Amino acid sequence: MTPAERRARMRELAGWVEWLRGTFELHNQIPECWYRHPPVREHLTALYAGWVRTYCQPSPGRDLAEAEWLTTLYGFLPRLQVASCANGTHHEAPPRPAPRPDAAEAFEEYLSASEFGTADSAHPAEAEAVRQATAL
């Protein structure tokens, strides 16, 4: 998105978030500074996209779609809270630690030397998968 498109979409999202906070009485769970916290912003964006697909189409295409969306909303609530901002004052998240200089090499070494990266694949239900494939 261009910066102008991104700002327009954020304004749209902000209007919906205010509706959400008011309608579901989530003002204590979703801080007013939600837009300043990238993980919260991403979760709210996902909820909004799901809400649009569920409520703004002629038919959501499946029974209980609305109830499923509500279940998802309440499942997301722990991810929407920012403890440091719960009192209404925004606090920046602590800075991310700098990656170790050898992190990429350590990752590649793990992939090439560990059992995870070198063992033959195995499925925990391999026998059942074979039986089902044979039955077809």
Q: Is residue 112 part of a domain?
A: no
Are 85 and 31 contacting, i.e. CB atoms less than 8 angstroms apart? yes
CA distance linking residue 54 with residue 67, whole number of Å: 10
The model's pTM is 0.72
Structure tokens at 67: 């109830």
Whether residue 134 is contained in a domain is answered as no
Domain presence at residue 110: no
Residue 93 forms part of a structural domain: no
Number of independent structural domains in the chain: 1
- Quote the domain boundaries for residue 74: 32-56+66-83
Inside any domain, residue 18: no
Dump the DSSP string for 35-94: GG-HHHHHHHHHHHHHHHHHHSSS--SSTTHHHHHHHHHHHHHHHH--GGGTTS---PPP
Task: Determine the residue type at 27.
Answer: H
In a domain, 77, yes or no: yes
Mean pLDDT by 10 residues, the chain (136 residues): 93 97 95 95 96 82 84 96 89 88 91 86 79 84
Within 10 Å of residue 66's Cβ, how many Cβ atoms? 12
Residue 73 lies in a domain: yes
Q: Is residue 72 part of a domain?
A: yes
Long-range pairs, 50-59, Cβ under 8 A, ≥24: 51/16
Per-residue confidence (pLDDT) for residue 79, from 0 to 100 = 94
Residue 45, Cβ density class (10 Å: 0-12 exposed, 13-18 middle, ≥19 buried):
middle
- Nearest Cα neighbor of 86 from 19, 16, 42, 37 is 37
